[in-house]
Every structure is written in C-alpha cells, then in structure tokens.
C-alpha cells in the first residue's frame, strides 16, 4: 500500500473536561484532506495514545475511518509492548475497515532484536493488512536496527517503514537492503527532503497539520528537478519543524492548530501546555515562514 508522500499523524482533540471532542476531530479530518494530506495515521504518538483508554482508542479509530470514508487511507496505531494485546487490537481495527496498521517497537520491556522481529512476525501472521513498522527509539528505548528492518521486509505484508531514529545513515542502510516495493518514510519533519533525496518515499508528519501543502510542494519540486526550490522550502520549513518539537509532541502542534481556528490546545496530563514565551517564539517563526513561502512562490 502507498501512503502517498505526506501522511499526517493526527492529533486527538479534547473538550475542556478531557473527553474526546469528536466535532472538532471531524473538522480536522476535513482540514487535513483539503490541505496536502495523502493519508491519516490515527492513534499514534501525536494522538496522545498513552493517555487514551482502550475504549477511547477503538472509538476514535472507528470514528476516523467512518468520517474519512475511503477518500484517503487510514492507518490505525495498534502497537503496544504486549504482543497479545497488539494482535487483539489489530483484529478489532481490521473489522472497522482500517486500511493498514502502525506497530511501534515494544517499549519499556526493551526486547532484543530477535524479540522485536518475533513481535512483528506474530502480528503479521494474524492479519492481511499492510503493516507500518514504526521505529522511534527516543520514545521506546529500543532501536529497530537496519538489519532487523530489512529482515522484516521479507514478510509479505510489511512493506512500509516509519523511521524516527533521526539517523540518515540507518535510513540509507534500510533503503539499500529492502525490496524495491518497500516504502521508507521519515518520522521527523526536518529530515523529509534529505530522506526523499536518498530514495525515501516521504514523511509521516506532525507539521502537515499546518503546512501540508508546502511539504507537498517541497517534495514535488525535488521530483521535478527544481532542486533550488525544494531547498528553499526545506530551509523555510526547518525552523518551524524544530519549533513544533520545542515541547513534547503534540503540545506545540496543538497550539499551532489553535492559531488556525481549531480549539485544540487541551492536552492530557502528564503533558502540559506551552509557556507564553514558546507561544511567542512560534508566532514569530510562523510569520517568518509565511514570508519565506511567499518569496519562494514569487520566484518559482
């Protein structure tokens, strides 16, 4: 399955009382589809999944699948550090009609590479859904090595990798070793263009909540050989992408969305909102970003 160039790891909006705000979620889904998102990942890191109950996760995934209504692919985050639970969740979202699943490396219990492989193999053996292997060692405490990822790519329904290791060297090793029909996505917005330039497919993005179209323009410019334009977009996006991770994700991007009129600043503890200083810094960087994008468009 092809997630396109820009997939969005969607936030979960909350009411003041902490309950999921489904009305705002529907607005965000429509906003993403209209602004450069090729596919949606629901209940990933950006969705504050660690603080959602099992029933909330399932209800929100089902809601998203229904509202998207096959217009673009919906990938359900089902990964957990318990293989049996991950398999159970996979069966549930498969019945909902998910187009694929995202499975993160088991966290906290820190399995070795043989254990990581066995975890993904066990999940793959229970479903025909495409599986996104999600490597994010900064969150999980374990790195899925390039060798393990390459081994996993020999399993028929594992053909998509989300690499958030931050290592272009590791990404290069993966691209060199996996089959041609395996897509490697950056899990870091700032590395989108560098990864595409070495053969990656695109990005599973946080920033695309607010700059999906610009990220598409950057990738399109590179593909069309307009490398100076692509470089200019990358240089404009980089400060914004860094600011969106000045606090734990998704705190900054929720503030960014609030500036576009979406009431989504609420996060669940132990996350807390942005400091006023960081809000001002974001506002300044956003203004500079808009100016740079206008300049790029006027010269291309």
Q: What is the pLDDT of residue 21?
A: 98
Task: Give the model's confidence band at 202: pLDDT under 50 very low, under 70 low, under 90 confident, else very high.
Answer: very high
Helices (H), the chain: 22-34, 54-68, 83-96, 113-124, 137-140, 146-152, 168-177, 192-197, 208-223, 227-243, 251-258, 276-298
Which tens digit of pLDDT belongs to each residue from 226-261? 999 999 999 999 999 999 999 999 999 999 999 999
Q: What is the pLDDT of residue 300?
A: 78
Q: What is the pLDDT of residue 19?
A: 98
61 labelled ligand-binding: no
Q: What is the pLDDT of residue 162?
A: 98
User: Residue 92: is its pLDDT beyond 90?
Assistant: yes
Q: What is the pLDDT of residue 1?
A: 81
Task: Give the model's confidence band at 292: pLDDT under 50 very low, under 70 low, under 90 confident, else very high.
Answer: very high
Q: In the chain, where are the structural domains located?
A: 6-224
Q: What is the pLDDT of residue 283?
A: 98
Stretch 183-188: mean pLDDT: 98
Stretch 266-281: mean pLDDT: 98
- Superfamily of segment(s) 6-224: Aldolase class I (3.20.20.70)
> Which amino acids are annotated catalytic?
134, 162
204 labelled ligand-binding: yes
Say how far apart CA 228 and CA 230 lie, in whole Å: 5
């Amino acid at each position: 399955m092809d997630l396109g160039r820009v997939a969005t790891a969607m936030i979960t909006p909350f009411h003041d009382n902490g309950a999921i705000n489904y009305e705002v979620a529907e607005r965000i889904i429509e906003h993403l589809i209209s602004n450069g998102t090729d596919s949606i990942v629901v209940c990933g890191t950006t969705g504050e999944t660690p603080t959602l109950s099992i029933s909330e996760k399932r209800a929100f995934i089902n809601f998203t699948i229904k509202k998207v209504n096959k217009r673009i692919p919906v990938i359900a985050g089902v990964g957990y550090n318990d293989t049996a639970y991950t398999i159970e969740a996979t069966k549930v979202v498969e019945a909902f009609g998910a187009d694929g699943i995202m499975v993160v490396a088991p966290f906290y219990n820190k399995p070795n590479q043989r254990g990581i492989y066995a975890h993904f193999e066990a999940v793959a053996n229970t479903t025909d859904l495409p599986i996104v292997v999600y490597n994010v060692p900064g969150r999980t405490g374990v790195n899925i090595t390039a060798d393990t990822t390459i081994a996993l790519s020999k399993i028929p329904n594992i053909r998509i990798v989300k690499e958030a290791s931050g290592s272009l060297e590791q990404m290069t090793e993966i691209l060199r070793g996996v089959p041609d029909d395996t897509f490697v996505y950056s899990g870091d917005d700032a590395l989108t263009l560098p990864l595409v330039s070495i053969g990656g497919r695109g990005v599973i993005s946080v920033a695309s909540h607010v700059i999906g179209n610009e990220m598409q323009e950057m990738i399109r410019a590179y593909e069309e050989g307009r490398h100076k334009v692509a470089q200019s977009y990358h240089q404009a996006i980089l400060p914004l992408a860094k600011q969106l991770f000045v606090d734990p994700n998704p705190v900054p991007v929720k503030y960014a969305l609030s500036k576009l009129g979406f009431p989504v600043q609420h996060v669940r503890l132990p996350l807390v909102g942005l400091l006023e200083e960081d809000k001002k810094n974001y506002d300044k960087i956003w203004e500079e970003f808009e100016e740079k994008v206008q300049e790029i468009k006027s010269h291309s």
